[in-house]
Amino acid sequence: MMDERKQRILQAIIDDYISSAEPVGSRTIARKYDLGVSPATIRNEMADLEMLGYLEQIHTSSGRIPSSKGYRFYVDGLLPQQPLSDKEKVLIDKWYQARVKRIEEVFQETARIISRVTKNVSLVLAPQLTQAAFRCLQFLPLDARRAIAVLMTDAGFVENKIIAIPSGAAFEDFQRMARVINQCLAGQTLDAIHPDTLQRIRDEIMDEELYEAALEVIYRSLDTEKKERLYLGGTTQLLNQPEFHDVEKVKEILLMLEEEQLLKDILHAHLGEGLSVTIGCENKYSGIQDCSIVTATYHLDGELLGTIAVLGPTRMEYGKAMTLLGYMNNHLADIIKKFRW
């Protein structure tokens, strides 16, 4: 049914379509790819492949284009190996070294790299603070009525917030409280602080108002940060793709790219799946049914940190996207480690 030759032809058609963006005909395949058969034979095979659902035809007497099912088969078995060249790896390294000074910049630059290499839109979902472990909380005096609370996490994030000192409380009380909190929360993940721990803190602080103020710091700091950050890269790359020569299509997808929550949801759907490819109509969201998404989740010491992804037309260089994401996956852990204490 799907013999060796059919596969080779399917592969040739998809390869050709990916690079040309034009419906491909039997003669083209016969000429460019050395399959040792005539166009007529290829035509027969193409008709079969269409019957099987791997190819589509815009109209009779046009060439064939791959269907989502076709791409799926291609991605699952026919992908040409194209490992990252050493030169590319070095370039990526240099890029990070030159541009990343602080952990927050890692993600933006990662997005840049991915979109540059793949010539498509990239998405990077940065780790949630809530998954990070509490490191320490400190208060700094500002004036008689205010202090700055600085919260640090294991992942290297530092978050600060100006808070009011409750009337009657001295700054020393804050110092004492900080000691208590640091003792109790050391190493805990922020989104799952046990009620018992909170109770212990409360007991030790022995001042309701102070306790409330401290909690507010932790929770508000957590609140502003807990929505993980999404970084986008290369949105203008879309405009180079012939499938987006129509402004309406561009508008549709650019508007979608502005809906941060939607994008996060899409990435979340693949969280923890390792390297995953979603092709065309496999996408649940109607705006991107002629796009594909390649996602990869990255880890650090076994802990799930976030997701990186490539979004492009179904006619995408899957091999390149997948090898790149695979590489960045590992690399990202190393980079982040540098900022970890």
Partner DNA sequence: GTTAGCACTCCGAATCAGTGAGTGCTAACA
Partner DNA sequence: TGTTAGCACTCACTGATTCGGAGTGCTAAC
Residue 154 is given by DSSP the state T
Q: Of a copy of itself, DNA, none, which one sits near residue 235, judging by CB under 5 to 8 A according to partner kind? A: a copy of itself
Contact 132, 157 (CB under 8 A): yes
Q: Locate 216 and state its tokens.
A: 């507010």
Residue choice 14, 18, 46, 129 for contact with DNA (CB under 7 A): 46
DSSP string, 95-131: HHHHH--SHHHHHHHHHHHHHHHHSSEEEEEPPPGGG
CA distances 175 to 108, 157, 179, 236, 276, Å, are 36, 21, 6, 50, 48
Q: Locate 225 and state its tokens.
A: 């940060």
**Binding segment toward a copy of itself, per CB under 8 A, in 10-18, 42-50, 87-95, 250-258:** 250-258
Min. distance of Cβ 6 from a copy of itself in angstroms? 37
Residue choice 31, 245, 284, 337 for contact with a copy of itself (CB under 8 A): 245
Min. distance of Cβ 247 from a copy of itself in angstroms? 5
Min. distance of Cβ 170 from a copy of itself in angstroms? 18
Q: Does residue number 24 form part of the binding site for DNA (CB under 7 A)?
A: yes
* Binding track, positions 31-70, relative to a copy of itself; x by CB under 8 A: ----------------------------------------
Q: Between residue 119 and residue 138, which ones bind a copy of itself under the rule CB under 8 A?
A: 136, 138
- Bin 234: left if φ > 0, else alpha if -120 < ψ < 50, else beta: left
Name which of 172 and 196 has its Cβ closer to a copy of itself: 172
Q: Does residue number 236 form part of the binding site for a copy of itself (CB under 8 A)?
A: yes
Q: Locate 299 and state its tokens.
A: 């880890």
Residue 53 is given by DSSP the state T
DSSP string, 283-301: -SSGGGTTEEEEEEEEEET
Instruction: Give the torsion sign (CA, 83, 237, 280, 333).
Output: positive
Q: Of a copy of itself, DNA, none, which one sits near residue 198, judging by CB under 5 to 8 A according to partner kind? A: none
CA distance 189 to 135: 9
Q: Does residue number 146 form part of the binding site for a copy of itself (CB under 8 A)?
A: yes
Q: In 3D, which of 100, 101, 244 has the Cα closest to residue 111?
A: 100
Min. distance of Cβ 255 from a copy of itself in angstroms? 6
Min. distance of Cβ 218 from a copy of itself in angstroms? 16
Q: Does residue number 70 form part of the binding site for DNA (CB under 7 A)?
A: no
CA distance 336 to 217: 26
- Residues lying near a copy of itself in the complex (CB under 8 A): 101-102, 136, 138, 140, 142-143, 146, 148, 150, 152, 156, 158, 160-162, 224, 235-236, 239-240, 244-247, 250-251, 254-255, 258, 341
- Residues lying near DNA in the complex (CB under 7 A): 5, 23-28, 36-41, 43-44, 46-47, 50, 57-64
